[in-house]
DNA sequence: GTCTATAGGCAGATAGAC
DNA sequence: GTCTATCTGCCTATAGAC
């Protein structure tokens, strides 16, 4: 658990990296400890030393993913504000959509989008963590939407909560369907339309 | 394979019913022959008589689902036209969205939405069939969109193809995210917004 | 921390009786 | 068509040596 300092990433992190990729590509029910072990050229027993059960590994996966996503959103806030981008809200939404596009570019599904599909089969701690991820996204988007509505850069009907949910689900859905076609442009097109529908200047067709 | 005529649905159909539900709830990698067998109180061996391999069962599942969906769309066309609904296109889109809502009401994911998540792990014949399902939906929606654009009842930017894809992916995504929350209204809200954004009268915010 | 070895169970699938 | 019995292989997980 402690930082090794030997130069190479510690084993726990490398396990999480490999498992994360496997879950995003094949799903939680579509990979095994043996898959991770063979990828890292260690044994299954070593894996169990770091993560006693698959449920533990899965929960750790979501925790790390959610933390990183949260950091990415904080960086979007910081970068947009530092650049003095005016208006800020549309730029933030565009950056948000870019996060999804980047994930799909590596032929992966969003980790929590994948786990949402498998939700009824997941151990309860994982279920809780998945909902937490979506709740965090929703909250951040709500803030951006309120900001944009206030400064007039965004225009949308209904509540910022409902709008935030539509943004999340339309991006998750576009990833879900685009991936089998190995066609990132399908997601890109959906993201562009979503943004166009929210930005004030292009709101009137 | 032939119709029994004994009064009860034939075994193959009952197997497909149970397996379909299991895939929609738990995913193709989240259920086993044993699950289906115990649900129908028959043995795994009997299952293998009707569907030699799990891949065969999976392919049959998609074929039947796609056929039924296709029939449902034909019925939407027929019912809307028979009712003399004017304009027809918005009514057809609303009926299309209703199909998704009804699936989620039974706590299920769209069969092909679920399989899209598991896509890389599926046997190739199943992969082909999943894409076929989405292609069919796309084609039908494109027709409705063209109809609506022609008679002025629908208004949308860009191609009917891109718009059809956005409709599919936003509904699939809304299902995906709404199900873990056990909240059909999340899908309903997404569907309502999607429709509102396409219908001419409400297009100007 | 990583290994070998193994437990105990369930997966998909087959053989052959009825 | 459905059964019992069984095969083979993989799964998650643990015990104990190094």
Q: In angstroms, rounded to a whole number, what is the distance separating the alpha carbons of residues B101 and A139?
A: 25
Each residue of A46-56: pLDDT tens digit? 999 999 999 99
Alpha carbon A121 to chain centroid, angstroms: 20
CA distance B109 to B103: 7
pLDDT value of position A29 = 98
CA of B27 to C1' of C18 (A): 36
> Integer distance in angstroms from CA B96 to C1' D10?
42
Q: Does A173 touch chain B (CB under 8 A)?
A: yes
Q: pLDDT at residue A2 above 90?
A: no
pTM assigned to the model: 0.96
Helix, strand or coil for residue A185?
A: helix
SS3 label, residue A166: helix
Task: Give the CATH fold of the A54-198 domain.
Answer: Tetracycline Repressor; domain 2 (1.10.357)
Closest approach of chain A CAs to the CA of B158, in angstroms?
A: 9
Mention every residue, 6+ apart, whose C-beta is less than 8 A from residue A71.
none
Distance A58 CA to D15 C1' (A): 24
CB A172 within 8 A of CB A113: yes
Q: Are B93 and B3 in contact, with CB atoms under 8 Å apart? A: no
Lowest-confidence region among A37-41, A97-101, B39-43, B198-202: B198-202
Q: What is the DSSP string of chain B?
A: -----SSSPPHHHHHHHHHHHHHHHH-GGG--HHHHHHHHT--HHHHHHHSSSHHHHHHHHHHHHHHHHHHHHHHHHHHHHHTT-SSHHHHHHHHHHHHHHHHHHTT---HHHHHHHTGGGS-HHHHHHHHHHHHHHHHHHHHHHHHHHHHTSB--SS-HHHHHHHHHHHHHHHHHHHGGGT-HHHHHHHHHHHHHTTBGGG---
Neighbours of A167 (CB within 10 A): 24
| Residues of A with Cβ-Cβ distance to B157 under 8 angstroms | 193, 196, 205
How high is the mean pLDDT of chain B?
Answer: 95
| Per-residue pLDDT reduced to its tens digit, B108-129 | 999 999 999 999 999 999 999 9
Distance CA B95, CA B139 (A): 16
User: Please, are residues A154 and A199 in contact by the beta-carbon 8 Å criterion?
Assistant: yes
Bridge partners of B154? Answer: B199
Q: Tell me: the pLDDT tens digits for A70-128?
A: 999 999 999 999 999 999 999 999 999 999 999 999 999 999 999 999 999 999 999 99
Q: How many CB atoms lie within 10 A of CB B131?
A: 16
- Each residue's pLDDT tens digit, B62-106: 999 999 999 999 999 999 989 999 999 999 999 999 999 999 999
- Best of B104, B120, B198 to disrupt the A interface (most A CBs within 10 Å) is B120
Taking the alpha carbons at both ends of chain A, their separation in whole angstroms is 55
> Which residue in chain B has the smallest CA separation from A166?
B190
Between CA B13 and C1' C16 the distance (Å) reads: 26
* Chain A CA closest to residue B202: A157
Q: How confident is the model at residue B201 (pLDDT cuts 50, 70, 90)?
A: confident
Contact between B205 and A155 using a beta-carbon 8 Å cutoff: yes
How many Cβ atoms sit within 10 Å of the Cβ of residue A87? 16
The footprint of strand D (CB < 7 Å) covers A 31-35, 44-45, 48, 52-55; B 1-2, 11, 41-46, 49-50
């Amino acid at each position: 658990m402690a930082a090794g300092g030997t130069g190479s990433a510690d084993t726990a992190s490398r396990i999480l990296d490999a498992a994360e990729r496997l879950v995003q590509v094949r799903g939680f029910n579509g990979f095994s400890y043996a898959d991770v072990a063979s990828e890292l050229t260690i044994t299954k027993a070593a894996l169990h030393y770091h993560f006693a059960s698959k449920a533990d590994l899965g929960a750790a996966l979501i925790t790390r993913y959610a933390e990183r996503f949260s950091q990415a959103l904080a960086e979007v806030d910081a970068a947009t504000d530092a650049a003095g981008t005016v208006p800020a809200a549309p730029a933030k939404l565009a950056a948000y959509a870019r996060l999804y596009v980047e994930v799909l570019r590596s032929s992966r599904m969003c980790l929590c989008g994948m786990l949402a599909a498998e939700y009824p089969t997941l151990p309860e701690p994982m279920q809780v963590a998945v909902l937490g991820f979506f709740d965090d996204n929703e909250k951040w988007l709500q803030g951006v939407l309120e900001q944009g509505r206030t400064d007039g850069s965004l225009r949308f009907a209904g509540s910022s909560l409902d709008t935030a949910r539509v943004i999340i689900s339309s991006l998750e859905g576009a990833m879900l369907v685009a991936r089998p076609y190995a066609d990132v442009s399908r997601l890109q097109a959906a993201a562009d339309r979503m943004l166009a529908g929210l930005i004030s200047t292009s709101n009137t067709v």
